[in-house]
A = this chain, B = another copy of it.
Protein backbone atom coordinates (compact mmCIF):
# COMPACT_ATOMS: atom_id res chain seq x y z
CA UNK A 1 0.00 0.00 0.00
CA UNK A 2 1.04 3.57 -0.56
CA UNK A 3 3.47 4.41 2.16
CA UNK A 4 3.66 8.16 2.33
CA UNK A 5 1.81 9.96 -0.41
CA UNK A 6 -1.19 9.24 -2.61
CA UNK A 7 -1.38 10.31 -6.25
CA UNK A 8 -2.44 13.87 -5.29
CA UNK A 9 0.72 14.41 -3.29
CA UNK A 10 -1.30 14.38 -0.10
CA UNK A 11 -0.89 11.98 2.77
CA UNK A 12 -3.95 9.94 3.61
CA UNK A 13 -4.27 11.94 6.78
CA UNK A 14 -4.29 15.19 4.86
CA UNK A 15 -7.06 13.85 2.66
CA UNK A 16 -9.08 12.90 5.73
CA UNK A 17 -8.62 16.29 7.37
CA UNK A 18 -9.51 18.06 4.16
CA UNK A 19 -12.68 16.04 3.57
CA UNK A 20 -13.55 16.55 7.22
CA UNK A 21 -13.34 20.30 6.76
CA UNK A 22 -15.95 20.14 4.02
CA UNK A 23 -18.17 17.88 6.06
CA UNK A 24 -17.84 19.91 9.25
CA UNK A 25 -18.76 23.02 7.34
CA UNK A 26 -21.78 21.44 5.70
CA UNK A 27 -23.28 19.71 8.72
CA UNK A 28 -21.44 21.09 11.73
CA UNK A 29 -18.88 19.21 13.80
CA UNK A 30 -21.36 17.38 15.98
CA UNK A 31 -23.72 16.40 13.21
CA UNK A 32 -20.99 15.11 10.92
CA UNK A 33 -20.32 11.49 11.86
CA UNK A 34 -17.18 9.48 11.40
CA UNK A 35 -19.18 7.20 9.13
CA UNK A 36 -20.07 10.19 6.95
CA UNK A 37 -16.42 11.10 6.82
CA UNK A 38 -15.40 7.55 6.02
CA UNK A 39 -17.81 7.47 3.11
CA UNK A 40 -16.45 10.77 1.78
CA UNK A 41 -12.93 9.37 1.96
CA UNK A 42 -14.00 6.06 0.46
CA UNK A 43 -13.16 3.83 3.37
CA UNK A 44 -14.77 2.19 6.41
CA UNK A 45 -15.12 4.25 9.57
CA UNK A 46 -12.72 2.16 11.60
CA UNK A 47 -10.01 2.59 9.00
CA UNK A 48 -9.84 6.30 9.70
CA UNK A 49 -8.26 5.50 13.02
CA UNK A 50 -5.15 4.21 11.31
CA UNK A 51 -4.45 7.84 10.45
CA UNK A 52 -6.01 9.98 13.15
CA UNK A 53 -6.32 9.66 16.89
CA UNK A 54 -9.86 10.94 17.26
CA UNK A 55 -12.57 13.04 15.70
CA UNK A 56 -11.56 15.93 17.94
CA UNK A 57 -7.97 15.71 16.76
CA UNK A 58 -9.17 16.58 13.25
CA UNK A 59 -10.83 19.68 14.63
CA UNK A 60 -7.63 20.61 16.50
CA UNK A 61 -5.62 20.39 13.33
CA UNK A 62 -8.08 22.50 11.37
CA UNK A 63 -8.45 25.18 14.02
CA UNK A 64 -4.80 25.59 14.80
CA UNK A 65 -3.53 25.50 11.25
CA UNK A 66 -5.89 28.37 10.48
CA UNK A 67 -5.06 30.26 13.65
CA UNK A 68 -1.35 29.92 12.96
CA UNK A 69 -1.67 31.42 9.52
CA UNK A 70 -3.37 34.49 10.97
CA UNK A 71 -0.86 34.83 13.77
CA UNK A 72 2.00 34.59 11.32
CA UNK A 73 0.42 37.27 9.17
CA UNK A 74 -0.12 39.71 12.00
CA UNK A 75 3.51 39.21 13.06
CA UNK A 76 4.54 40.20 9.57
CA UNK A 77 2.21 43.19 9.33
CA UNK A 78 3.09 44.59 12.74
CA UNK A 79 6.76 44.63 11.74
CA UNK A 80 6.14 46.80 8.70
CA UNK A 81 6.85 50.53 8.69
CA UNK A 82 3.54 51.71 7.30
CA UNK A 83 0.49 53.60 8.51
CA UNK A 84 -2.17 52.00 10.68
CA UNK A 85 -4.68 52.16 7.83
CA UNK A 86 -2.24 50.37 5.57
CA UNK A 87 -1.72 47.63 8.11
CA UNK A 88 -5.43 47.21 8.63
CA UNK A 89 -6.06 47.01 4.92
CA UNK A 90 -3.38 44.37 4.57
CA UNK A 91 -4.86 42.32 7.38
CA UNK A 92 -8.35 42.65 5.95
CA UNK A 93 -7.20 41.59 2.50
CA UNK A 94 -5.49 38.59 4.03
CA UNK A 95 -8.64 37.64 5.92
CA UNK A 96 -10.73 38.04 2.80
CA UNK A 97 -8.43 35.92 0.70
CA UNK A 98 -8.16 33.24 3.33
CA UNK A 99 -11.93 33.11 3.50
CA UNK A 100 -12.17 32.93 -0.28
CA UNK A 101 -9.47 30.37 -0.96
CA UNK A 102 -9.47 28.28 2.19
CA UNK A 103 -13.15 28.56 2.78
CA UNK A 104 -13.87 25.22 4.43
CA UNK A 105 -11.03 25.32 6.93
CA UNK A 106 -11.45 28.94 7.90
CA UNK A 107 -15.19 28.59 8.25
CA UNK A 108 -14.89 25.51 10.43
CA UNK A 109 -12.23 27.11 12.57
CA UNK A 110 -14.49 30.12 13.02
CA UNK A 111 -17.71 28.32 13.86
CA UNK A 112 -16.81 24.98 15.38
CA UNK A 113 -13.95 25.76 17.76
CA UNK A 114 -16.39 25.53 20.67
CA UNK A 115 -16.24 21.76 20.31
CA UNK A 116 -12.54 21.64 21.03
CA UNK A 117 -11.75 20.17 24.41
CA UNK A 118 -9.29 21.46 26.97
CA UNK A 119 -6.42 22.21 26.95
CA UNK A 120 -6.86 23.00 23.26
CA UNK A 121 -10.03 24.94 23.86
CA UNK A 122 -8.54 27.44 26.31
CA UNK A 123 -5.46 27.64 24.16
CA UNK A 124 -7.47 28.53 21.09
CA UNK A 125 -9.57 31.07 22.96
CA UNK A 126 -6.42 32.70 24.26
CA UNK A 127 -4.85 32.98 20.84
CA UNK A 128 -8.07 34.43 19.52
CA UNK A 129 -8.29 36.98 22.30
CA UNK A 130 -4.70 38.03 21.84
CA UNK A 131 -5.06 38.30 18.08
CA UNK A 132 -8.01 40.62 18.47
CA UNK A 133 -6.16 42.75 20.97
CA UNK A 134 -3.26 43.15 18.59
CA UNK A 135 -5.65 44.07 15.81
CA UNK A 136 -7.36 46.59 18.10
CA UNK A 137 -3.99 48.06 19.03
CA UNK A 138 -3.29 48.86 15.40
CA UNK A 139 -6.65 50.58 15.14
CA UNK A 140 -5.88 52.61 18.23
CA UNK A 141 -2.67 53.83 16.66
CA UNK A 142 -4.72 54.96 13.69
CA UNK A 143 -7.09 56.81 15.99
CA UNK A 144 -4.22 58.54 17.77
CA UNK A 145 -2.90 59.60 14.35
CA UNK A 146 -6.33 60.97 13.43
CA UNK A 147 -6.33 58.68 10.42
CA UNK A 148 -9.17 56.71 11.90
CA UNK A 149 -12.28 58.23 13.42
CA UNK A 150 -12.88 58.03 17.17
CA UNK A 151 -14.47 54.66 17.69
CA UNK A 152 -14.19 51.80 20.13
CA UNK A 153 -11.36 49.75 18.68
CA UNK A 154 -12.62 46.43 20.03
CA UNK A 155 -16.00 47.01 18.40
CA UNK A 156 -14.31 47.86 15.13
CA UNK A 157 -12.34 44.62 15.21
CA UNK A 158 -15.42 42.60 15.90
CA UNK A 159 -17.23 44.23 13.00
CA UNK A 160 -14.35 43.63 10.59
CA UNK A 161 -13.84 39.99 11.47
CA UNK A 162 -17.49 39.07 11.48
CA UNK A 163 -18.21 41.00 8.29
CA UNK A 164 -15.59 38.93 6.52
CA UNK A 165 -17.15 35.71 7.72
CA UNK A 166 -20.11 36.77 5.56
CA UNK A 167 -18.12 35.53 2.58
CA UNK A 168 -19.73 32.25 3.47
CA UNK A 169 -22.91 33.56 1.82
CA UNK A 170 -20.95 34.57 -1.25
CA UNK A 171 -19.65 31.04 -1.60
CA UNK A 172 -23.11 29.57 -1.42
CA UNK A 173 -24.63 32.16 -3.73
CA UNK A 174 -25.41 31.14 -7.29
CA UNK A 175 -24.87 34.45 -9.06
CA UNK A 176 -21.55 35.53 -7.69
CA UNK A 177 -19.50 38.59 -8.44
CA UNK A 178 -15.83 37.70 -8.96
CA UNK A 179 -13.48 37.18 -6.05
CA UNK A 180 -11.62 40.36 -6.97
CA UNK A 181 -14.80 42.42 -7.03
CA UNK A 182 -15.81 40.93 -3.71
CA UNK A 183 -12.48 41.87 -2.18
CA UNK A 184 -12.60 45.44 -3.46
CA UNK A 185 -16.19 45.93 -2.34
CA UNK A 186 -15.44 44.69 1.12
CA UNK A 187 -12.34 46.80 1.50
CA UNK A 188 -14.20 49.85 0.27
CA UNK A 189 -16.98 49.45 2.79
CA UNK A 190 -14.90 48.32 5.75
CA UNK A 191 -12.01 50.72 5.40
CA UNK A 192 -14.44 53.45 4.39
CA UNK A 193 -16.24 52.93 7.68
CA UNK A 194 -13.09 53.54 9.67
CA UNK A 195 -11.39 56.52 8.11
CA UNK A 196 -11.71 60.06 9.34
CA UNK A 197 -12.94 62.63 6.85
Q: Does A17 contact B (CB under 8 A)?
A: no
Q: Which residue of B lies closest to A195 (CB)?
A: B192
- A sample of 10 inter-chain contacts (CB < 8 A) reads A30-B31, A149-B188, A152-B182, A154-B173, A154-B177, A155-B185, A158-B169, A162-B163, A191-B193, A193-B193
Q: Does A85 contact B (CB under 8 A)?
A: no
What 1/0 mask marks residues of chain A from 54 to 68 whose CB sits below 8 Å from any chain B CB?
A: 000000000000000
Q: Which residue of B lies closest to A152 (CB)?
A: B185
Shortest beta-carbon distance from A171 to chain B in Å: 11
Which B residues are CB-close (under 8 A) to A27?
Answer: 114
What 1/0 mask marks residues of chain A from 176 to 197 whose CB sits below 8 Å from any chain B CB?
A: 0100011001101111111001
